[in-house]
Amino acid sequence: MTGTTVHLAVYDTFADWEPGFATAQLTRHGHTVRTVGLTTAPVTTMGGLRVRPDLALGVLRPEDSGLLLLSGASLWDTGGTLAPFARAARAFLDAGVPVAAICGATAGLAREGLLDDRAHTSAVSHYLAATGYAGGGHYVDADAVTDAPGPSRGALVTAGPTEPVAFAREILGLLGVYEAKKLDAWFRLFHDSDASAYEVLEG
């Protein structure tokens, strides 16, 4: 899949390092990454960078996107400010369009009920349990998890806050950026600093 537009949600305090491995490779391989905020007003990342969203959430349509990417942020755990993004994730999944969530964004999806019947992961199981969600039985202790698409729902990628490379691996595999052998090499290079993987990746 090339030429797809991927939408990266941006909001105050979002963890700017978490989506970077994925968005860099997607852009390098012909995808367009557009940022979407609650409004088009600038936001400030956890790292202090100011980002002006390309579009407001209210005009985002699943049919115009190949993926909705949700990063962690302090705001996911301090009230309902980011709940509209979780509702947008529901609309995407219902439309058969994939969603990828890492770190605190997984808690947002849990509160929205989107993890109740799907394989998923996060920082630790009790972090999600604190949301009161009903999906504890589907929690997987892994660096990142992709719950495959069904007849009427999109694929869902989840990861914990320490796994941005594994998170990217799942996204890149889902969108067909690399075939399996090169995807494994990419992961070994960036996650494990395995120099031998470079030859495979560039071959």
- The DSSP string of 151-169 is TTB--EEEE-TT-HHHHHH
Which residues span the domain enclosing 130? 5-178
Q: Name the average pLDDT for the chain.
A: 96
Residue 187 lies in a domain: no
Residue 83 lies in a domain: yes
Q: Provide the domain count of the chain.
A: 1
Q: What is the pLDDT of residues 143-175, one digit of tens each?
A: 999 999 888 899 999 999 999 999 999 999 999
Indicate the residue type of 64. D
Residue 184 lies in a domain: no
Residue 139 lies in a domain: yes
Residue 197 lies in a domain: no
Number of CB atoms found within 10 A of residue 171's CB: 27
Mean local confidence (pLDDT), 175-190: 96
Q: What is the pLDDT of residue 150?
A: 83
List beta partners, residue 150.
Answer: 153
Residue 196 lies in a domain: no
Q: What is the pLDDT of residues 20-46, one digit of tens each?
A: 999 999 999 999 999 999 999 999 999
In this predicted structure, the answer to whether residue 90 has a pLDDT above a threshold of 80 is yes
- Cβ neighbors of 40 (< 8 A, separation 6 or more) are 52, 53, 54, 55, 56
Question: Are 33 and 52 within 8 A, CB to CB?
Answer: no
Q: What is the pLDDT of residue 1?
A: 45
Mean local confidence (pLDDT), 116-123: 97
CA–CA dist 168, 183 (Å, integer): 10
Q: What is the pLDDT of residue 138?
A: 98
In this predicted structure, the answer to whether residue 91 has a pLDDT above a threshold of 80 is yes
**What is the per-residue burial (b if ≥16 Cβ within 10 Å, else e) of 7-29?**
bbbbbbbbbbebbebbbebbeeb
Nearest to residue 28, comparing CAs of 197, 168, 194, 192?
168
Residue 90 lies in a domain: yes
Tokens of residue 159, six digits = 């990861």
Question: Are 6 and 66 within 8 A, CB to CB?
Answer: yes
Residue 80 lies in a domain: yes
Mean local confidence (pLDDT), 65-74: 97
CATH code at position 105: 3.40.50.880
In this predicted structure, the answer to whether residue 3 has a pLDDT above a threshold of 70 is no
